[in-house]
Structure formats: structure tokens, C-alpha cells
Amino acid sequence: MSLSVELAVRERLLATAHAMSAAGLNTGTAGNVSVRIDGGMLITPSGMPPAACTPEDMVIVTADGSASGRVAPSSEWRFHHDLYTRRPEVGAILHAHAPFATSLACQRIEIPPFHYMIARFGGNTVRCARYATFGTQELSDNILAAMDGRSACLMANHGMLVSGRDLDNALDLAIEFETLCEQYWRTRQIGEPVLLSDAEMAEVVERFRWYGKPRAG
């Protein structure tokens, strides 16, 4: 990757971190975002709010888990690294402490098929990964299990995680997911929602296989 291309990717990664804050997904130093590059990933740094960062503060973490840069990578680099290793189709990963997603995560709730848009994230439910201390291999393993066949999960007593094909897609999905979490939270204030059946969700999941993709030919 040329220096000019690398700088452009660094700038885009930092812009995504700013956009996360602007969208209300994060405040302060919470959360992190990464993008796949040749030989590894670029990830936001540890303990630095986006407003204090420059593109040069984005940290390279290679496929073997070693980091290079003038600051340390996010303490959550491990689950980004492991998810890229396990899922070659993933191009960007976003983790946030968004208000409604985090509220549900603190209840350790799996989001059921109360709305067909659950299928946007790969299945009939959005799972909640089991709790483990941040930055640990145990947390990464729990997230990999919750993300099996999915593009989003909650993280118990922690927040949300979303994967996408690129940074724009990951950000869009994170905003959609937080909206869905808010809708579920509000629905539960009224009572238990009426859930879609397995057959109804299977049809929606199939439709989402081509949703938003260019037509062949």
C-alpha cells in the first residue's frame, strides 16, 4: 500500500470515528473502529477521543497481532483481529457504547424477531455475547460465538459490535442497529412484542441476501 493510499485510509478511519460521535453512538474515548488493510488492520488508538486524534494516530496491527505506531492500539484490538481472521468477507468493524444497545446489553438480552429488520444482521435474532473483561481473549472468543452467521451482536454489560464490508457500510449498520435497539426498548415499555415466526423470518433473511446488491448483468 502506497503512502498516499495509506494516508487516505487513515483519514477515512478517523472520519468514521468522528461520525460515530456525531451520530450519538459514542462519547469521549468509548468505543473503537477498524478497517482491514493488506497484512492486517488499522484501528483507532487507546484512550484518545477522536477530537484529539490525527490520521497518524491510527495504529497498524499486523496479522500476527503486533502493533506499530506512535500510540498504542485500542485495548479491544484483539476481537477486531480475531474477527478479521475468522471472517474474510469483513472489511470494517465498529464497536460502540451506544445508549439503547448498551441498555439492552446490560440486561443481557438477545433481541428476538420483533421486527423484520432483525434479518438485516444475518438471522432470526441478534445475540448477546457473554460477559468477559474488556481486552481479553475470553471476550474475543465470546464475541466470535455471538457473531457466527451475524453482522452484529450485543456485548453483555458493555455495548454493541457491528461488522461491514467497508467503513461506510459498518457505520450505516451501526446506526440502523442502534435504531432497532431503541425500537425494541420502546416496544417493551408497552408490553411483550408479537414476534415473527421462523417461516416469516426465513423469507426475510433470504430477501436480504440480495438486498442492496447490484443486479447481475
Catalytic site positions: 76
3-state class of 66 per DSSP? coil
Q: What is the CA radius of gyration of the chain?
A: 17
73 bridge partner residues: 45
Q: How far apart are CA 96 and CA 79, in angstroms?
A: 13
Torsion angle, alpha carbons of 6, 12, 17, 23, to 10: -170
CB 170 within 8 Å of CB 33: yes
| Residue type present at position 32 | N
